[in-house]
């Protein structure tokens, strides 16, 4: 498939349970060569062939960008989800071959910063693992505030605390601890950049409070991969390809387009990068927009859709694809 | 050589020259103003919805220069949390640098007045790690240029004539329309290098 980026054949060389929900997977290149370079914040898209179904899920690289002998990702099991994480948890074994995309970075560090202020929630810790390794090697100034449900579910908390010491601040929900976002934002020296990765509520809170306090957009960075929501099946007419397809309950529109043998562009598959933006030719029904790429006006206009995460309810949706 | 211009728009033809806008009250908890001479009027003209609250979180650094005390009482009446007037751009820049060294993200910076002030204050702000996006500028008053002699690198302030004598090396300089943001100055090039006996008459054109 040529639509995303180039592909890499990898071997699963290690799988480690981190806690009851999270497993860490390590990949090495099948041909034994070093993997491509990447910068902290990059993700890869993992292809999962599950019987006759193909899933492609994005995962942030958490291993050090300084060591390209392997890549590592962490997968949090989601029992209610569409099955990608369950596939990784239950079907993938050490020694398996997988296909992953080249790394793409949509959450890059701004290296001109005098300080990097990082806020992580839950599994949102993973891109910061790679970024911290990169910053520590450069001798750059950073500080991480990491909020977790409980001590037992705090993936990598002990490891990073031991490694980065006072730069790491941990907060446990079940002990009533919370990141005081506004205080944190109000005391940062000029030249600080803020980065947030975690649940939607946390990202919204950091972005809106930073903006209200006068931080320029350029200094606010966030990443949230939305997992494509499930929903009622719906019909789509692909005008350029002259095909009509049905998007299944657990399938994304993008996956259904791909399953019909059509190359469609994508990078993040999580509603963030804008790559999959598609023109809507007609819409007899209502679109269920889930991305945070299009503006509210664009959502309302019903002229564009992001097929990686958005759905449709109604008679027929016709796309320029 | 220099296009006729309206009173508040710098020559549009100079691509390297920064564009100036109109000050407008930004969204933040901290506001810092640096202005010289007529730049005061840009601050006074700014629409501020909740002025007393806004200025209770503002700091104004003002250099009256040849406007004397024309604007002082109006500026004071804004009741800024801090109000400082200084004798020269140099002292104001020093104060700006000090202020920025302990300032926090979110600070909005407003620069108003002559191009020399705006350009130099901008440099100080960028060196302190500020982002363009939180710096607003408004040009007011004199079009005098800050000129750097390309031969001795000396800076001559408040140049209104074409040509001008370099205040450092004494060469007669043609003031070019080439503006350097890095040094916040226009370039001055010797006008009579081939024939020093050629001394064109100085004309007052940057007013
Ligand atoms: S692939 Fe990135 S927004 Fe759809």
Please classify residue A54 by burial: count the beta carbons closer than 10 Å to its beta carbon, then call 0-12 exposed, 13-18 middle and 19+ buried. middle
Q: Please, which pLDDT band fits residue B15 given cuts at 50, 70 and 90?
A: low
Looking at the fold, whether B41 and B102 belong to one and the same domain comes out as: yes
For B119-146, the pLDDT digits (tens) are 999 999 999 999 888 999 999 988 889 9
pLDDT of the residue at B8: 43
Assigned domain for B195 exists: yes
- In the listed set B120, B139, B158, which residue is the last one of a domain according to the structure? B139
- CB of residue A276 inside a 6 A radius of ligand 1: yes
Residue A32 has pLDDT above 80, yes or no: yes
Domain end residue (candidates: B90, B120, B139): B139
DSSP A124: G
Query: How many A×B Cβ pairs under 8 Å?
Result: 56
Residues of A in contact with B134 (CB under 8 A): 214, 216
**Do B106 and B79 share a structural domain?**
yes
Domain containing residue B188: 145-204
| Minimum-distance ligand 1 atom for the alpha carbon of A267 | 1
Query: Is residue B147 predicted with pLDDT exceeding 60?
Result: yes
In a domain, B8, yes or no: no
The total domain count for chain B is 2
Q: Do B134 and A216 touch (CB under 8 A)?
A: yes
Q: Using CA atoms, how far apart are residues A228 and A251, in angstroms rounded to an integer?
A: 8
Tell whether B115 and B179 lie within a shared domain. Answer: no
Do B103 and B45 sit in the same domain of this protein?
yes
In this model, does residue A77 exceed pLDDT 60?
A: yes
The rounded distance, in Å, linking the Cα atoms of A30 and A10 is: 5
Q: What is the CATH number of the domain that holds B44?
A: 3.40.50.80
**Index of the ligand 1 atom closest to the CA of residue A306:** 4
**pLDDT for B14 beyond 90:** no
Identify from A216, A217, A219 which residue to disrupt to test chain B contact, counting B C-beta atoms within 10 A and taking the largest count.
A216
CB atoms within 10 A of CB B8: 12
Q: Does the pLDDT value for residue A3 go beyond 70?
A: no
In a domain, B38, yes or no: yes
Q: Which has the closest alpha carbon to B182: B128, B118, B119?
A: B119
Name the phi and psi angles at A296, rounded to 5: -60, -40
CB–CB of B148/B155 below 8 Å?
Answer: yes
Q: Where do runs of H (alpha helix) occur along A75-125?
A: 84-91
User: Which atom of ligand 1 is nearest to A271's Cα?
Assistant: 3
Q: How far is CA A225 from CA A46, A174, A308, in A?
A: 14, 25, 11
- Chain B contact set for A141 (CB, 8 A): none
Indicate which atom in ligand 1 lies nearest the CA of residue A276: 4
Q: What is the largest CA-CA distance in chain B?
A: 62
Q: Which of A296, A294, A250 is nearest to A55 (CA)?
A: A250
Q: Can you read off the two tokens belonging to residue A11?
A: 């071997």
Three-state SS at A15: strand
Q: Which chain A residue's Cα is nearest to B133?
A: A216
- Judged by CB atoms closer than 8 Å, whether chains meet at B131 and A216 is answered as yes
Residue pLDDT, tens place only, A130-189: 999 999 999 999 999 999 999 999 999 999 999 999 999 999 999 999 999 999 999 999
Rg of chain B over all Cα atoms, to the nearest angstrom:
18
Instruction: Measure the CA–CA gap between A255 and B147, rounded to whole angstroms.
Output: 62
B-chain CB neighbours of A185 within 8 Å are 105-106
Task: List residues in chain B touching A: CB distance below 8 A.
Answer: 26-30, 100, 103-108, 128-131, 133-134
What are the C-alpha distances in Å from B14 to residues B35, B52, B91, B123? Answer: 23, 39, 29, 20
Report the gap between the CA of A213 and the closest CA in chain B (Å).
5
Question: What is the pLDDT averaged over residues B141-153?
Answer: 91
The answer to whether residue B14 sits within a structural domain is: no
Is residue B72 domain-resident?
yes
- Smallest CA–CA distance, residue A205 to chain B, in Å, is 16
- The predicted pLDDT at position A189 comes to 95
On whether both B134 and B34 belong to a single domain, the answer is yes
Q: What is the ipTM of this complex?
A: 0.79
Judge whether B25 lies within some domain: no
Whether residue A186 and residue B104 make contact (CB cut-off 8 A), yes or no, is yes
Residues B39 and B131 in one domain: yes
Same structural domain for residues B118 and B193? no
Q: Which residues are registered as beta bridge partners of A286?
A: A313
CA distance A272 to A282: 24
Strands (DSSP E) contained in B37-115 are: 58-63, 82-85, 108-113
Domain stop point among B139, B160, B187: B139
Dihedral pair phi/psi, residue A169, rounded to 5°: -120, 125
CA distance B45 to chain A (A): 22
A308 lines ligand 1 (CB under 6 A): yes
CA distance linking residue A244 with residue A311, whole number of Å: 15
- 3-class SS at B32? strand
Same domain as B113, residue B71: yes
Cβ density class B24-54: b for 16+ within 10 Å, e for less: ebbebebbbbbbbbbbbbbbeebebeeeeeb
CB contact under 8 A, A114 and B134: no
Q: Looking at the structure, do residues B123 and B173 belong to the same domain, yes or no?
A: no
Q: Does residue B130 sit in the same domain as residue B152?
A: no
> Do both B58 and B111 map to the same domain?
yes
Instruction: For chain A, give the percent of residues with pLDDT over 90.
Output: 87
Long-range contacts of A178-181 (CB under 8 A, 24+ apart): A178/A147, A179/A119, A179/A145, A179/A147, A181/A119, A181/A205, A181/A206, A181/A209
Task: Give a yes or no: residue B12 inside a domain.
Answer: no
Residue to test with chain A: of B27, B30, B105, most A Cβ within 10 A: B105
In a domain, B18, yes or no: no
B50 and B124 housed in the same domain? yes
SS3 state of residue A221: strand
């Amino acid at each position: 498939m040529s639509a995303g980026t180039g592909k890499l054949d990898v071997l699963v060389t290690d799988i480690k349970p981190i806690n009851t929900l999270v497993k860490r997977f390590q990949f090495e290149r099948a041909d034994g060569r070093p993997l491509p370079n990447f910068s902290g914040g990059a993700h890869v898209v993992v292809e999962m062939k599950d019987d006759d179904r193909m899933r492609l899920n994005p995962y942030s690289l958490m291993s050090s960008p300084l060591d390209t002998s392997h890549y590592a990702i962490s997968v949090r099991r989601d029992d209610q989800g569409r099955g990608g994480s369950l596939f990784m948890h239950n079907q993938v074994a050490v020694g398996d071959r997988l296909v992953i995309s080249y790394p793409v970075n949509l959450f890059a560090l701004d290296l001109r910063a005098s300080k990097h202020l990082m806020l992580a929630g839950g599994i949102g810790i993973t891109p910061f693992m790679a970024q911290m390794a990169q910053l520590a090697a450069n001798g750059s100034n950073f500080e991480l505030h990491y909020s977790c449900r409980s001590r037992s579910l705090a993936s990598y908390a002990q490891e990073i605390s031991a490694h980065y010491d006072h730069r790491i601040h941990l907060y446990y929900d079940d002990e009533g601890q919370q990141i005081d976002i506004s205080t944190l934002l109000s005391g940062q020296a000029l030249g600080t950049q803020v980065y947030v990765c975690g649940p939607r509520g946390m990202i919204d809170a950091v972005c809106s409070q930073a903006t209200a306090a006068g931080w320029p957009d350029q200094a606010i960075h966030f990443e949230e991969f939305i997992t494509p929501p499930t929903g009622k099946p719906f019909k789509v007419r692909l005008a350029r390809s002259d095909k009509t397809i049905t998007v299944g309950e657990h399938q994304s529109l993008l996956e259904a387009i791909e399953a019909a043998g059509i190359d469609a562009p994508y990078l993040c598959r999580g509603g963030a990068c804008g790559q999959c933006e598609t023109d809507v030719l007609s819409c007899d029904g209502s679109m269920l927009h889930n991305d945070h790429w299009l503006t509210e006006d664009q959502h309302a206009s019903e002229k564009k859709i992001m097929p990686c995460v958005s759905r449709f309810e109604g008679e027929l949706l016709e796309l320029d694809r | 050589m220099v296009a006729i211009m309206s009173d508040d728009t710098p020559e549009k033809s100079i691509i390297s020259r920064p564009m100036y806008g109109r000050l407008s009250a930004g969204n933040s908890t901290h506001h810092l103003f640096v202005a010289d001479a007529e730049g005061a009027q840009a601050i006074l003209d700014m629409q501020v919805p909740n002025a007393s609250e806004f200025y209770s979180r503002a700091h104004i650094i003002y250099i009256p220069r040849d406007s004397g005390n024309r604007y002082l009482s109006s500026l004071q009446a804004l009741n800024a949390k801090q109000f400082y007037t200084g004798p020269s751009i140099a002292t104001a820049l020093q104060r700006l640098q000090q202020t920025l060294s302990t300032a926090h993200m979110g600070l909005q910076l407003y620069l108003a007045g002559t191009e020399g002030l705006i350009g130099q204050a901008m440099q100080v702000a960028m060196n302190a790690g500020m982002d363009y996006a939180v710096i607003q500028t408004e040009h007011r008053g004199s079009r005098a240029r800050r000129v750097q002699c390309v031969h001795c690198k000396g800076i001559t302030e408040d140049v209104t004539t074409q040509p001008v004598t370099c205040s450092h090396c004494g060469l007669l300089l043609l003031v070019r329309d080439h503006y350097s943001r890095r040094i916040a100055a226009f370039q001055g090039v010797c006008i009579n290098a081939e024939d020093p006996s050629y001394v064109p008459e100085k004309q007052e054109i940057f007013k």
